[in-house]
Amino acid sequence: MPKRFAVLWTVLPATALALVLAAPAFGRSYDVTIKDLTDGQPLTPPVVATHVGRHAIFDVGQPASVGVREIAENGNNAPLLAQLDADPFNQISHFKQAGDGPLVPAGKPGSAMFDDKVSFTIRGSRRADRLSFVSMLVCTNDGFTGIDSVKLPSARGDKVSKATNGYDAHTEINTEDYADIVPPCQSLIGDDAGENDAGTGVSNPALAEGGVIRHHRGIQGTDDLDPAIHGWTDPVARIRIERTK
């Protein structure tokens, strides 16, 4: 892809993402679509998992895991994918990164290359009755959207549709300065404010914040980020799930 749209999120090799298995057999399949509903917030490729029980990826009111923190701050999917692969609590059935590019709102420069939605198939064992996902709000310091443990449709042909909110991981101070935000934000949205700020895909320890996951207050306009350009109101995204097998 052209350098102006180069992204920093890190992923596992494609061969590792294609069929990442944490269970020996799959009895069910689901067609899933995740769509960005905002006007000014691209989303990183979602990390999605089917699993047993609740809070397999994140839990509002609790600290973000290293994997969720890396997505929320840096768009780095690799640590969460590794965490799901390790599956220390024996919860995960199937997981994957959905797509290999960002979800970009229609009408923005990045939408010439990237769609505002991604569709994919994910599988699950008969025990796995829930699905979760996480995706970075690209034009934030440590914002993300996702869904925690939505109940999967139980019968073939059944469908579930859920809207998702914006969350603040509270692992990095919200400076709203492009210097502290992943570089793709400006090129994908087309904002030239802070054009001398290179941006970063690495966490700055000086901005570390030891909070818990909360609902995101949105863009406040304290520096380069502009509520008129990057702001949003919930819902941030919508996920549709259909059981096909």
* pTM, to two decimals: 0.89
User: What are the boundaries of each domain within the chain?
Assistant: 3-243
Structure tokens at 62: 């609790």
**pLDDT digits 0-9 by tens, 125-162:** 999 999 999 999 999 999 999 999 999 999 999 999 99
**pLDDT digits 0-9 by tens, 52-108:** 999 999 999 999 999 999 999 999 999 999 999 999 999 999 999 999 999 999 999
User: 86 phi and psi, to 5 degrees?
Assistant: -65, -35
Q: Just give the CATH number of 3-243.
A: 2.60.40.2130
Query: What Cα–Cα distance (Å) separates residue 180 from each residue in 36, 139, 201, 204, 223?
Result: 23, 10, 8, 8, 11
